[in-house]
Amino acid sequence: MKYAIILLLSVLLITSCSNEPKKEEVSYAAVLPNSSKGISVVNESKDTMVLTLKDSTVTVTSSYTYSYTTKRVDTVWKRYVLPGTTPPTDTVVQPPVPIGYSIFYENGFDKAADRDPWGKQQYGNGYIDTAFKKTGEASFHAKPKNVSSGIRSEVQFPDGWLPSEGAIEFDINIVKRVINNAHFFQIHPKKDGASGCPAMFSRNSGLAMVFKEIPGEPEYPFFAPVLNRWYNIRFEYKMAQNNTGYWKAYVDGVLKIDKSGIRTQLDNDNWMKIGINSWLVSETANEAYYDNLKVYKKQ
């Protein structure tokens, strides 16, 4: 009886996976009867999203609901296992909700107006893509074009709009990137012709946070993204024109940069840009998706 139940669950799960291989998020639940054995996920194919189940050594003394959640094959995987089992080594812990912040702005990039909320017209060939997203209805598909003397596809925010101290969080999936020739996020100074400061810049070893306009041009390695994979990015910051600022950068909840007592700003009235900015390359050289933008204000 026990093996029949496990076999039935396996068939149901595999059938659900194979019928909808492109679904953004799939959840499964199975209720086990009283048994001395449980089930656990021991293998999964990221190509077919098929789960393999087997008996576990966990004792289940009463009815137990087993749930499994995964995302698209190129995104973060979340797994839930029976109590007492060891979680998979590649389980990603999502960043906690920031404490001491209040939400200032949200954009899920779900409708056409979300790519240009303030009419800045910097999105290039970018568009709201309903076929590919992290969550929700759609994402911003950044596809650069020669706009405003740059090869760009950005969602630009107003001058002086960003809170002077707060947090910025978004999901990004980089499809293509040119080394030493692309910003994938930036806060732009008011000074004409200035570069992003700070900017998430493409380097040979990965992405780096670059403060190009600050004396000495500080640069801090961030992380090396795998193409065609979603990452959650969060910056906690204080903008300052003297050495009272700070910049913290997280990827998938892991702190990668922690700098305090630094200058983070060239001048006042800076504006934030979510997207790609490059130069002297083809319009198709860089490409990325963005989703779930949130801006927080420090309380």
Q: How far apart are CA 8 and CA 288, in angstroms?
A: 40
* Cα 50 to chain centroid, rounded: 25
Share of the chain above pLDDT 90, in %: 49
Stated pTM of the model: 0.69
pLDDT of residue 192: 67
Percentage helix, strand, coil, to 5, in the chain?
Answer: 5, 45, 50
Q: Are strands 145-147 and 206-210 parallel, antiparallel or unpaired?
A: unpaired
pLDDT, residue 73, reads 31
**Mean pLDDT of all residues belonging to the chain:** 74
- In whole angstroms, give the CA distance from residue 105 to residue 92: 25
The tally of CA atoms less than 13 A away on the side-chain side of residue 77 is 18
| Residue 172: band (very low, low, confident or very high) from pLDDT cuts 50, 70, 90 | very high
In angstroms, what CA-CA distances link 61 with 30, 39, 41, 53, 65?
16, 13, 20, 20, 12
> Which secondary structure element, helix H or strand E, spans residue 273, and what is its range?
strand 271-278
In order of start, what are the domains of the chain with their CATH numbers?
2-71 (no CATH), 101-298 (2.60.120.200)
Q: What pLDDT sits at residue 258? A: 95
The whole-number pLDDT of residue 193 equals 63
Chain segment 16-69, per-residue pLDDT in tens: 343 433 333 333 333 333 333 334 433 343 333 333 333 333 333 333 333 333
Tens digits of per-residue pLDDT, 128-152?
A: 999 999 988 999 999 999 988 889 9
Q: Which of 86-95, 183-192, 210-219, 270-279 has the lowest mean pLDDT?
A: 86-95
pLDDT tens-digit series, residues 210-261: 998 788 888 999 999 999 999 999 999 999 989 999 999 999 889 999 999 9
Determine the Cα–Cα distance for residues 194 and 177; give it in Å rounded to an integer: 22
pLDDT digits (tens, 9 = 90+) for 81-96: 344 444 444 334 444 5
